[in-house]
Amino acid sequence: MANVGFVGLGVMGSRMVKRLLDAGHKVTGYNRTKSKAQWLVDAGMQWGETPRAVAQAADVILSMVTNTAALAAVTGGPDGLLAGLAQGKLYIDMSTVSPAASRELAAKVAAKGAKMLDAPVSGSVSTLEEGKLSIMVGGERDACERARPILEAIGPKVTHVGPNGLAVSMKIATNLSLAVQMLAFSEGVLLAEKSGIPRETAVEVLLNSVIASPMVKYRGPFVLQMPEEVWFDVNMMQKDLLLALEMGRELDVPLPTTAITNEMLTAARGMGLEKKDFAVLFKVLAKMAGIEKK
Q: Out of 18, 89, 115, 171, which one is annotated catalytic?
A: 171
CB under 8 A, 24+ apart: contacts of 211-214:
211/184, 211/185, 213/181, 214/127
Give the chain's largest Cα–Cα span.
66
Dihedral angle of Cα 134, 180, 65, 117, to the nearest 10 degrees = 40
Amino acid identity for residue 82 in this structure: L
Helix axis angle for 281-288 and 256-270, nearest 10°, is 80
- With 0-12 CB in 10 A as exposed, 13-18 as middle and 19+ as buried, what is 19? middle
Q: Note whether 244 and 174 are within 8 A (CB).
A: no
Known catalytic residue: 171? yes
Residues 267 and 148: their CA atoms lie apart, in Å, by 41
Backbone angles phi, psi at 12, to 5 degrees: -85, -45
Q: Note whether 164 and 106 are within 8 A (CB).
A: yes
- Cite the active site residues: 171
